[in-house]
Structures are given as C-alpha cells and as structure tokens.
C-alpha cells in the first residue's frame, strides 16, 4: 500500500522545465555560470587541512557521493566502507565515495582522523568555526564547504549525492536510473520532496522563523535529508545562491531555498526514503535509492555489520549487517534465496 502510494506521489510531483523570467533568478544563474574559483585553489591547504586526491580530469565520473560525517564518527564511516561504499564502479561506470568531515579542535581526535585518512585516502576535513551549541549552523557551514570542495576538486562529476553517514545508499540502482535519463540532465535536484511545509511561527519551538524574517506562507519545496542528488550545475548554482543565506533552518531546507533562488525545481522520487527506515522485504532494496537506518547503534564484528541483509540486485549480492535502534531494537531479517 505505502509503496504504491509513493509511486503515485512521485508521478504527480514530477517537475518540468522552468521558464526563467525572474531577474534575480537570472542573475544567480549567470553568476553561477561565470563562477571562477581558480585563485582560491592557492590556499586550499588552509581551508581543507586534510584532503584527498582530486577527481581525475580524464575520468567520466557519473556519481560522486560526499558522506557528511562528524570527526568522532569513525565507526559509522567504517560501516559505510564495508558495505555500500565498497565499490568504484556500477554498471561499468565510475562512482566515487568520500567522507566530508566537520572541523575539530581536539588534538587527539585530529590525530585519529589523520591516521584514518592516511589509511583509506577517502577523507576531506574543512577548517572552519566550530559552532559549539549550534549544531545546525555548523552543519550548514559544512554543507557549503562541501559544495566548494566539489567545484574545486571534482567539477567533472556529473551528479553529486549528499548523504549523512547514517544512510544506506543503493548506488547500482541510482546509477541505472541516471544512465536512463533522457531529459533535464541539468537542473536536476532529486530526492524525497517536502511540499508546502509551513514555517515554524512558535518562538518556543526549534527552527522558529518570525514573520519579519520569512513572511512567506510556505517554505520552498526541498529534498529531505539525509540523502539527495544534485547535478553538477546545481551544486554551482546552490553555492552561489548560498552566499548570504543564514536562516535558522536545517541544511536540507536551506538547500531548497538556494535552489529556488537559482530557478531549480526539486524533483520528487519516492525511491529516496527521506528520514524513514524502509522495512519492506529485501527486494524493495533493489528499487530504493536510499534508506535511513545505519545509525549510531551499529556494532562491528570481524569487520562486518551485525544484521544480515541480502539485497536482490541483479548481478550483485550485498551482504551486510546492521543493528538498528528505534523505540525498540528492530531486527530487519531479509533472507533471499
């Protein structure tokens, strides 16, 4: 029932090419087109004190996944490496997964991150103000700096997935979908769209937005975290539009706001689960692009995760183990012969 509803919802919420008549939108798009970050590459060692190899200029990279992670989440990163991120190609095209870490001012933690980076070569950490007591603001800074890194070091990636380290991603399914796209290769902002959400007007609630700051009745349509996809040109447009955006809202909402300022329409796909953990049978994971659920209650045993899921993806057999915790511990047993 829920799956059928999602498919119908996806059909009804598909975006169509927009006609750009708003002067501000046209200005943002033109600034994005002319954006040149060449000079800023001179001091990137200060901005990104821990970095990895840039994407190869000659490589046709279909998907770059940047997994946003906190410095202390080394166990989460290990889980991702040992599961869905353990691949450099899907359907014979190149994919790449990197971890993008927020700042840390703790010496011991920095040493551990340097060691992890030297071992795996898949970590980028940016240097910025650590917003103590304001995680939301710090996360938005992390997201903006991730966009900047993409433009500096991986402009040839055709599509970018931004994900949290608590998410399972089905890169083969997403790759197959993207390879079949024939329309709108640019301006693609794809995920589980939140439509016509009302801003919070109660000053005692989180994400309070006074009318004077945001007078509109609804928030812009946006792709809900913790995972969504942007085409490379949208990364550029969002980066330009984000220069003066600092509303007290979650990062996924702010990206939606920046996308709207750049004339980019969010495209709904029920194949992104949003913040829900999908408890369908295992074959549904052949259909899904993402599912929330690889959370901080993951434990490792001999380098693999503790709850067995066999994904029935043609030609690929993923075996990984997840331990989940909600109101009660849920064992998701997906045995496919």
Residues 219 and 200: their CA atoms lie apart, in Å, by: 10
Nearest to 215, CA basis, from 247, 240, 258, 244: 247
For the chain, the residue count is 337
User: pLDDT class for 45, splitting at 50, 70, 90?
Assistant: confident
pLDDT in tens, 200-248: 999 998 889 999 999 999 999 999 989 999 999 999 999 999 988 888 8
- Specify the pLDDT at position 43: 77
- Specify the pLDDT at position 22: 84
Asked if 198 and 220 count as a contact pair (C-beta separation under 8 A), the reply is: no
pLDDT in tens, 144-186: 999 999 999 999 999 999 999 999 999 999 999 999 987 667 9
**What's the mean pLDDT in 87-107?**
91
- Specify the pLDDT at position 131: 54
- Residue 172 is encoded by which pair of tokens? 């083969």
pTM of the model as a whole: 0.82
Contacts of 3 (CB under 8 A, 6+ apart): 270, 280, 284
- Specify the pLDDT at position 298: 42
For the ranges 2-6, 137-141, 182-186, 250-254, the one whose mean pLDDT is highest: 250-254
In three-state form (DSSP H/G/I as H, E/B as E, the rest C), the secondary structure along the chain is: CHHHHHHHHHHHCCCCCCCCCCHHHHHHHHHHHHCCCCHHHHHHHHHCCECCCCCCCCCCEEEEEEEEECCCCHHHHHHHHCCCCCCCEECCEEEEEEEEECCCCCHHHHHHHHHHHHHHCCEEECCCCCCCCCHHHHHHHHHHHHHHHHHHHCCCCCEEEEEECCEEECHHHHHHHHHCCCCCCCCCEEECEECCCCCECCCCCCCECCCCCCCCCCCCCEECCCEEEEEHHHHHHHHHHCCCCCCCCCHHHHHHHHHHHCCCCCEECCCECCCCCCCCCHHHHHCCCEEECCCCCCCEECCEECCEEEEEECCEEEEEECCEECCCEECCCECCC
- Specify the pLDDT at position 132: 54
pLDDT in tens, 253-301: 999 999 999 999 999 998 998 876 655 445 666 788 998 876 433 443 4
- Specify the pLDDT at position 107: 81
Least confident range of 42-51, 59-68, 91-100: 42-51
User: pLDDT class for 309, splitting at 50, 70, 90?
Assistant: very low
Could you name the CATH architecture of 2-276?
A: Alpha-Beta Complex (3.90)
* pLDDT of residue 195 exceeding 60: yes
* pLDDT of residue 59 exceeding 70: yes
Please report, for the chain, the start and end positions of each structural domain, with discontinuous segments joined by +.
Answer: 2-276
Residue with more model confidence, 332 or 331: 332
CA distances 246 to 150, 255, 256, Å, are 21, 11, 13
Residue that has been written with the tokens 């359907």 in this structure = 91
Contacts of 48 (CB under 8 A, 6+ apart): 124, 125, 126, 127, 149
Asked if 37 and 44 count as a contact pair (C-beta separation under 8 A), the reply is: no
User: pLDDT class for 303, splitting at 50, 70, 90?
Assistant: very low
Average pLDDT, the chain: 80
């Amino acid at each position: 029932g829920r799956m059928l509803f999602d498919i119908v919802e996806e059909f009804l919420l598909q975006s169509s090419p927009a006609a750009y008549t708003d002067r501000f939108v046209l200005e943002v798009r033109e600034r994005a087109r002319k954006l040149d970050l060449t000079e800023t590459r001179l001091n990137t060692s200060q901005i990104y004190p821990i970095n990895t190899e840039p994407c190869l200029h000659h490589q046709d990279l279909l998907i770059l996944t940047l997994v946003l992670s906190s410095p202390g989440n080394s166990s989460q990163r290990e889980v991702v490496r040992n599961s869905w991120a353990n691949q450099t190609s899907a359907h014979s095209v190149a994919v790449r997964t990197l971890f993008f870490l927020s700042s840390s001012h703790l010496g011991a933690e920095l040493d551990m991150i340097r060691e992890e980076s030297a071992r795996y070569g898949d970590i980028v950490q940016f240097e910025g103000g650590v917003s103590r007591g304001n995680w939301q603001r710090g996360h938005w800074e992390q997201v903006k700096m991730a966009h900047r890194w993409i433009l500096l070091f991986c402009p040839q990636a055709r599509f970018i997935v931004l994900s949290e380290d608590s998410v399972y991603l089905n890169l083969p399914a997403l790759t197959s979908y993207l390879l079949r796209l024939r329309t709108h290769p640019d301006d693609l902002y794809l995920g589980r769209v939140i439509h016509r959400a009302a801003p919070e007007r109660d000053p005692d609630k989180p994400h309070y937005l006074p009318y004077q700051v945001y007078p509109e009745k609804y928030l812009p349509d946006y792709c809900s975290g913790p995972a969504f996809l942007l085409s490379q040109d949208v990364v550029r447009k969002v980066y330009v539009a984000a220069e003066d955006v600092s509303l007290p809202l979650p990062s996924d909402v702010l990206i939606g706001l920046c996308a709207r300022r750049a004339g980019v329409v969010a495209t709904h796909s029920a194949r992104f689960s949003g913040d829900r953990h999908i408890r369908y049978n295992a074959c549904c994971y052949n259909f899904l692009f993402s599912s929330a659920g690889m959370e901080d209650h993951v434990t490792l045993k001999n380098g693999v995760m503790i709850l067995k899921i066999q994904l029935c993806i043609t030609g690929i057999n993923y075996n990984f183990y997840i331990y989940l915790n909600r109101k009660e511990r849920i064992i998701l047993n997906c045995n496919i012969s």
